[in-house]
Amino acid sequence: MSTHDLENYESEMELQLYREYRDVVGLFSYVVETERRFYLANQVDLQVRTAGGEVFYELTLADAWVWDVYRSSRFVRNVRVVTFKDVNIEELTKQELRIPE
């Protein structure tokens, strides 16, 4: 496999992932961004913990979708994340349900 083929493959995988994200984002209530991953979730619990003078974050997500091009299944029931970096949580605004004319 050439470098060009590999780059094309990775670009196609990213495009497929973006399309999947676009299709499922409306099913979730929260966007969660950590140092290593990006999640969509319907329940989020963030706990700030300390141990040995260090602060870390324990994040529990339920009914989640994981932005990861290499996962075969991105939908997960429960996720537990521990990170030492800040966590960004944003509540999504639901568009009003429109009845077609």
pTM of the model: 0.81
Residue 100's pLDDT band (boundaries 50, 70, 90)? low
Dist. CA 28–CA 64, nearest whole Å: 8
Sign of the Cα torsion 42, 96, 91, 70 reads positive
Share of the chain above pLDDT 90, in %: 67
> What pLDDT is recorded for position 98?
54
Q: How many CA atoms lie within 13 A of 66 on its CB side?
A: 19
**Would the pLDDT of 25 be above 50?**
yes
Average pLDDT over residues 75-84: 95
Looking at residue 53, the DSSP 8-state letter turns out to be T
Give mean pLDDT, residues 12-33.
92
pLDDT in tens, 13-23: 889 999 999 99
Q: Is 11 exposed, middle or buried (0-12, 13-18, 19+ CB in 10 A)?
A: exposed
